[in-house]
Structure 1
Amino acid sequence: MERVNELLAALGIVAGSQTVLLQGIVAVGLFVAILGIAAVFRPSTAVQIRRMQAVASPLSGRDIVRPWDNDPTGALRLFVPHSGTERSKISARLRQAGIHKVNALRNFFLVRSVLALALPGCFVLAVWFNQSLPTGLSQVLEPLSRLETPQAFMIAVLLVVIGFYGPSAWLSSKVAQRRKSVTRGMPGALDLMQVAIEAGLGFDAAMNRVAKEFGRFCGPIAEEFTILQLEIQAGKPRDMAFAQLERRTGVDAMASFASVVQQSAEFGTPISQALETYSIEMRLDRELKAQAKANQLPVKMSAVLAAFMMPILLLIMLTPIAIRWVTVLTP
């Protein structure tokens, strides 16, 4: 607070007007923030969106059917990219992470922008207004008040980077975790689907059955199968629905599954036999990958062993020589 007062005094603002100026700045900032948040979460009144929401009302709890992310308007232009390619890329990654909320894209950019501003803002406030905080909190944050200006600036820049790129790193980890879960659960899902088909169910009914029973073991697969069946029931062509399934998951195993199902339907081969063959191939591929990783262990461990053992071996070999030299050279 003292630094702010000194800065205002240097600008020619008297002590009596400093409080009024600070209150005005805080009031304007709060007003702009409230307007921006209200504009972000204000429901859209577009005719197409109202129609889609009316049709999708029975499924609104699952947030599966939702409109495409259009160009940002109003306050959204402050933090949502204008490039449609960038928005499509982030939207695809959000779906690959299993996030199907209506405003997932704009909420992601909103959180990223708020964190990029809030983290350094809170740090700067803690540095400047440390004396005005409650006693307990002021004692905890007291080391921050002793920071030099260059150090505080570097920490604030680091917090900006963390706040801006932190959500992207979290999203990448979420996508990787979901892809791994889908890859591990696909063989079991295919076996269960094969059993359901051989028991007399059709392909769509078998997929619904797998989605219902497999949710306890692999939620992402059950969710993707449910979305696929809902899209097919809504009238989307089957090939387009499978293409969207591949895009939503981003997993090669799911893309191969879509190809197997489409080729089986096109050439008239039994779908159960195709699923059994592909399930065996997936397990064999997993075994080969595990063997490849096991074969890489000696090579990877050699560098670690050399890094930790070579200094010790050199020390063991050179220590007697060093002792001999010291004994000989010492008068």
Structure 2
Amino acid sequence: MWEWFQSLFPALNSGGNILLMIGVGIGTMLFVFGAFDAVRPANPAARRYNKHGLGHRMTAFDAGLLHNPEIDPKGMWKALMPSDKRERSSLRRNLTNAGFVGEGAILKFFLWRIGLAIGLPMVVVLLLFLRQSGVWLPGPVLWFVDSTPRLVMFQLLTLLAGIGFFLPSIWLSRKVKERRREIEESFPNALDLIQISVEAGMGLDAAMTRVGNEMVHSSPAISQEFRMVQLEISAGGERESALMAMAQRTGVDEVASFSNVILQSIRFGTSISDALQIYAHEMRVNRELKAQEKANKLPVKMSAVMSALMLPAMILLIVGPVVIRWMNTFGDL
């Protein structure tokens, strides 16, 4: 078994030296990444927040607001990150929609992708090496290593590399959908709380901050987005750009409509409380209509399941007695 694997991977003929080389390579990469993070200059805006005692309230999501503008990868990062700026922008948009922001989000994503693409096949290679070294392995593992043909083993390594490479993208897509669904379900309640706070005499910024702090446990995504908006405004950004950035980060239509309502109310000088009240009423109506739409779709969706499960039983009940009678009648002929 080990002979054909050595012919497949000649570098393994060196025995234990290959593991030493792999360990040295991994250690070098970890040292380089750690040194890079250590010598990277801190963000001035983050230093100002820490100086005023606000750093302890910032989460990893909040700190992502204080990242540097996206720049083209240089040096060794060119081998890890895509060179196309449009592809990086699309990936950054997906990461922000999933709740991962910051200047190192794209790099970490590709590090995970490359690490899984290399690590999963290396698990099989490690099992083969342990089998050759005589280390005790469970019975199913021994059977798998000894009975797998050479071609099948090579196909398995290729399959594991593909799974490790595409698994982070699949996970990211699911994370984006889950976060959007959480925001869609929690945003009407958050809007009602903002409306009540504004009607009680609080300003819009104070109301969003209060609602964000109150919804930390019930809806972390909404809380993070509201605090992100207030952090950006506190750092000197414009309210319009902060609200539009929140709508772009979430990718939810209700949030985009909320941002437009607030901006139009501020631009034309109308009452924010009245605008929020009207929009909250419209959102509740739309939420009820969506619930009715889902309820009306249930009979159509259930018809296929019911027909697939009930029709065979009904046919058996109807045709079964007839078949039995025919068998009794013509069985003696």
Contact 1:117–1:163 (CA<8 Å) still a contact in 2? yes
Residues 192-203 of structure 1: pairs in structure 2 closer than 5 A: 192-203=193-204
Equivalent residue, structure 1, for 2:315:
314
Mean Cα deviation higher: 160-169 or 319-328: 319-328
TM-score normalized by structure 1? 0.85
Distance 1:123 1:97, change over 3 A: same
Equivalent residue, structure 1, for 2:185:
184
Equivalent residue, structure 2, for 1:109:
110
Q: What's the secondary structure of 2:22's corresponding residue?
A: helix
Mean Cα deviation higher: 315-324 or 79-88: 315-324
Describe the superposition over 1:10-59 as per-residue Cα deviations: whole angstroms up to 9, x where unpaired. 98x9xxxx86x33444344333333334444443699xx73x61331224
Identity %: 37
Contact 2:4–2:150 (CA<8 Å) still a contact in 1? no
2:15 to 5, 18, 22: 22
2:29 aligned with 1:36: yes
Distance 1:324 1:219, change over 3 A: same
Contact 1:39–1:74 (CA<8 Å) still a contact in 2? no
Distance 1:317 1:153, change over 3 A: farther
Q: What's the secondary structure of 1:188's corresponding residue?
A: helix
Residues 135-146 of structure 1: pairs in structure 2 closer than 5 A: 135=136, 137-145=137-145, 146=147
2:120 aligned with 1:119: yes
Equivalent residue, structure 1, for 2:85:
84
Mean Cα deviation higher: 53-62 or 254-263: 53-62
Mean Cα deviation higher: 56-65 or 107-116: 56-65
Shift of 1:118: 0.8
Paired with 2:2 and 2:238, the residues of 1 have a C-alpha distance of 67
TM-score normalized by structure 2? 0.85
Paired with 1:299 and 1:77, the residues of 2 have a C-alpha distance of 51
Paired with 1:96 and 1:6, the residues of 2 have a C-alpha distance of 46
Paired with 1:202 and 1:117, the residues of 2 have a C-alpha distance of 53
Describe the superposition over 1:180-208 as per-residue Cα deviations: whole angstroms up to 9, x where unpaired. 12112212222221222222222112222
Residues 207-246 of structure 1: pairs in structure 2 closer than 5 A: 207-246=208-247
Mean Cα deviation higher: 96-105 or 112-121: 96-105
Q: Gaps (5+ residues) in structure 1?
A: none
Contact 2:117–2:160 (CA<8 Å) still a contact in 1? yes
Contact 1:126–1:144 (CA<8 Å) still a contact in 2? no
Paired with 1:143 and 1:312, the residues of 2 have a C-alpha distance of 44
Distance 1:74 1:237, change over 3 A: same
Paired with 1:311 and 1:220, the residues of 2 have a C-alpha distance of 47
Mean Cα deviation higher: 293-302 or 226-235: 226-235
Name the amino acid aligned to 2:192: D
Number of aligned positions between the proteins: 320
Distance 1:5 1:275, change over 3 A: closer
Contact 1:186–1:221 (CA<8 Å) still a contact in 2? yes
Equivalent residue, structure 1, for 2:176:
175
Contact 2:247–2:259 (CA<8 Å) still a contact in 1? yes
Paired with 2:76 and 2:123, the residues of 1 have a C-alpha distance of 23
Paired with 1:39 and 1:91, the residues of 2 have a C-alpha distance of 24
Distance 1:193 1:176, change over 3 A: same
Shift of 1:158: 2.9
